[in-house]
């Protein structure tokens, strides 16, 4: 099938669809990072003293840290002084109060991305807190949510209006000193999303945020904090695309989830940042810290991710299972094509009794890509009856890509049950030929086979995302066969 592979590799070079830049004047700090910059960000945003102190402490700690090198990713050193740490779309003195006040160019940008904010979102019953560069520009469905007592707003708004919640929960799951990129984020984060669901409330709609990196050489440092109080339930969706750029763009987000007694949080991601071109030039560096803490009894946190973008992905959405009977889940599809490098997985830390976790990871590699699953299942001495099930499957397309699996296990309680299953397969020529012989084109056949491979993860996604994820996969892997 060697002749075919060549055609297929040509098809793989499909151009990034969302590669365009909106021409909007940016309000940016000049490149560089020092205590003055950290203080300036805090001042621009009008933050209270406790937050400025926290940022500065984080910054000072960051200075003492080394960039981690243990991941299976390779990239040129990042010059942290060459990055602008704040940029905001130029807006009138006050932020827009409704969509009508939003810059039409901005709205057009979302439309190009296939995110008709005011129509599709409404039809789908999705509230959208849209982040353009670093500042939230539009929030919908506020009324419905506030009637239910749900707070869903930009991080900056939460700092202004609910400082007590921020002070109480910020950094309580991912401490500022947790790791190099989390410390950097803690020092310079510009905005993000905040969700608080009060006790006993089931959030009346799926919550969604679309992130987008626009201004050149602007690192983006989101901060997301979601709290589900006792017996509360919330499902949060995050999706992102970025315009084409030659320079590598750094992205280091932090997401913290807190689930109290009997609460449930479902966090879904479709990530489609610019992966670089077919020669590995450009693309987003995505160094993200995502962690949820099941702080209460019988609480549940579920991560579902479909990762198709970024030149480098370094991401391990994790669950700390503190509460007795709490449940952590991680469902992941990670696609790496061309010269993309993905090192992703999860950590399940079992602390409470009878805690349970499930890990299902599907890695797809094509082109020259490197795709690594790295997961830790840790059972502490007090976690009687803890159970984990892990399944890691890798699918290879072509002969130049690679898949690696590093499952770490630390079990310090004899009553725990930990199961691990792993498989690696190539897209079978037999499967492909079977489809071709039925008249199905190679691209459609590959999409079909890959979708089948990912099905168990896709069905964990909310409906509207499942469709988007399927489309994304088609674009990312069009024609890939081995």
Instruction: State how far Cα 377 lies from the chain centre.
Output: 21
Please say which residue, 27 or 443, places its beta carbon nearer to other proteins. Answer: 443
Please say which residue, 115 or 427, places its beta carbon nearer to other proteins. Answer: 427
Instruction: Report, in Å, the least distance between residue 428 CB and other proteins.
Output: 7
Cα–Cα distance between 273 and 11 in angstroms, integer? 20
In 98-253, DSSP assigns E strands to: 126-132, 135-139, 151-154, 191-197, 206-212, 222-228, 233-241, 249-251
Please say which residue, 354 or 431, places its beta carbon nearer to other proteins. Answer: 431
Please say which residue, 3 or 77, places its beta carbon nearer to other proteins. Answer: 3
Please say which residue, 413 or 424, places its beta carbon nearer to other proteins. Answer: 424
Instruction: Report, in Å, the least distance between residue 2 CB and other proteins.
Output: 8
Q: Which two tokens stand for residue 269?
A: 């991601």
Best CA proximity match to 18, nearest among 237, 372, 270, 263 = 270
Q: Which residues contact 296 (CB under 8 A, 6 or more apart)?
A: 230, 259, 260, 261, 262, 263, 323, 326
Cα–Cα distance between 239 and 12 in angstroms, integer? 23
Instruction: Report, in Å, the least distance between residue 450 CB and other proteins.
Output: 9
Yes or no: say if 282 and 246 are a contact pair by the CB < 8 Å rule.
yes
Best CA proximity match to 460, nearest among 365, 359, 392, 373 = 359
Q: Cα–Cα distances in Å, from 20 out to 200, 218, 243, 246?
A: 44, 16, 5, 12
Cα–Cα distance between 326 and 297 in angstroms, integer? 6
Please say which residue, 164 or 430, places its beta carbon nearer to other proteins. Answer: 430
- Residue 119, judged by CB atoms within 10 A of its CB (0-12, 13-18, 19+), counts as exposed
Instruction: Report, in Å, the least distance between residue 446 CB and other proteins.
Output: 11
Please say which residue, 343 or 478, places its beta carbon nearer to other proteins. Answer: 478
Best CA proximity match to 141, nearest among 205, 89, 96 = 205
Please say which residue, 9 or 261, places its beta carbon nearer to other proteins. Answer: 9
The DSSP line for 37-102 is: HHHHHHHHTT--HHHHHHHHHHHHHHHT------SS---PPP-GGGSB--EEE---SS--SSGGGS
DSSP-based three-state secondary structure for 147: helix
DSSP-based three-state secondary structure for 21: coil
Instruction: Report, in Å, the least distance between residue 366 CB and other proteins.
Output: 18
Instruction: Report, in Å, the least distance between residue 405 CB and other proteins.
Output: 19
Any idea how long the chain is? Answer: 482
Partners of 152 in beta bridges: 195
Question: From the CB of residue 388, how many other CB atoms can be counted at a distance below 10 Å?
Answer: 24
Instruction: Report, in Å, the least distance between residue 402 CB and other proteins.
Output: 23
Please say which residue, 1 or 108, places its beta carbon nearer to other proteins. Answer: 1
Place of tokens 């669901």: 197
Instruction: Report, in Å, the least distance between residue 360 CB and other proteins.
Output: 13
Instruction: Report, in Å, the least distance between residue 469 CB and other proteins.
Output: 14
Q: What would you report as the CA-atom Rg of the chain, rounded to the nearest whole angstrom?
A: 22
Please say which residue, 97 or 455, places its beta carbon nearer to other proteins. Answer: 455
Please say which residue, 384 or 443, places its beta carbon nearer to other proteins. Answer: 443
Instruction: Report, in Å, the least distance between residue 466 CB and other proteins.
Output: 14
Instruction: Report, in Å, the least distance between residue 407 CB and other proteins.
Output: 22
- Residues near other proteins (CB under 8 A): 1, 3-4, 428-431, 433-442, 444, 448-449, 451-456
DSSP-based three-state secondary structure for 454: helix
Instruction: Report, in Å, the least distance between residue 364 CB and other proteins.
Output: 13
Please say which residue, 184 or 449, places its beta carbon nearer to other proteins. Answer: 449
Best CA proximity match to 266, nearest among 293, 239, 237, 306 = 237
């Amino acid at each position: 099938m060697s002749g075919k592979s060549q055609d297929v590799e040509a098809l793989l070079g499909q151009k990034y669809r969302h590669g365009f830049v909106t021409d909007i004047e940016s309000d940016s700090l000049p490149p560089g990072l020092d205590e003055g910059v950290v203080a300036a960000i805090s001042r621009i945003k009008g933050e209270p003293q406790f937050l400025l102190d926290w940022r500065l402490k984080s910054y000072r700690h960051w200075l003492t840290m080394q960039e981690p090198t243990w991941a299976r990713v390779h990239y040129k050193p990042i010059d942290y002084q060459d990055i602008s740490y704040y940029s905001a779309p130029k807006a009138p003195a006050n932020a827009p109060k409704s969509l009508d006040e939003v810059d039409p160019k901005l709205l057009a940008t979302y439309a190009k991305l296939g995110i008709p904010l005011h129509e599709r979102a409404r039809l789908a019953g999705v509230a959208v807190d849209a982040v353009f560069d670093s500042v939230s520009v539009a929030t919908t469905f506020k009324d419905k949510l506030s009637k239910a007592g749900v707070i869903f707003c930009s991080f900056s708004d939460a700092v202004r209006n609910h400082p007590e919640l921020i002070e109480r929960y910020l950094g309580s799951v991912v401490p500022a000193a947790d790791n190099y990129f989390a410390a950097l984020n803690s020092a310079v984060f510009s905005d993000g999303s905040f969700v608080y669901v009060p006790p006993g409330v089931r959030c009346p709609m799926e919550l969604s945020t679309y992130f987008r990196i626009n201004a050149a050489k602007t690192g983006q440092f989101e901060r997301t904090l979601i709290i589900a109080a006792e017996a509360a339930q919330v499902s949060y969706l995050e999706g992102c695309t970025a315009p084409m750029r030659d320079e590598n763009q750094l992205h280091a987000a932090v997401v913290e989830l807190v689930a109290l007694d009997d609460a449930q949080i479902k966090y879904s991601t479709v990530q489609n940042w610019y992966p670089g071109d077919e020669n590995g030039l450009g693309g987003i560096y995505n160094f993200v810290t995502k962690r949820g803490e099941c702080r209460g009894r019988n609480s549940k946190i579920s991560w579902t991710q479909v990762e198709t973008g970024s030149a480098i992905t370094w991401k391990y959405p994790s669950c700390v299972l503190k509460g007795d009977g709490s449940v952590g889940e991680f469902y992941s599809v990670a696609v790496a094509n061309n010269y993309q490098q993905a090192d992703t997985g999860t950590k399940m830390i079992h602390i409470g009794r009878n805690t349970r976790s499930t890990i299902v990871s599907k890695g797809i590699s094509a082109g020259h890509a490197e795709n690594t699953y790295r997961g830790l299942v840790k059972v502490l001495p007090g976690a009687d009856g803890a159970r984990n099930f892990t399944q890691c499957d890798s699918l290879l397309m072509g002969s130049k890509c690679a898949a690696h699996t590093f499952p770490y296990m630390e079990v310090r309680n004899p009553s725990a049950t930990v199961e691990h299953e792993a498989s690696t397969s190539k897209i079978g020529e037999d499967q492909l030929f079977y489809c071709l012989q039925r008249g199905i084109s190679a691209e459609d056949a590959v999409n079909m086979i890959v979708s089948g491979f990912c099905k168990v993860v896709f069905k964990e996604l909310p409906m509207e995302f499942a469709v988007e994820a399927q489309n994304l996969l088609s674009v990312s892997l069009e024609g890939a066969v081995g």
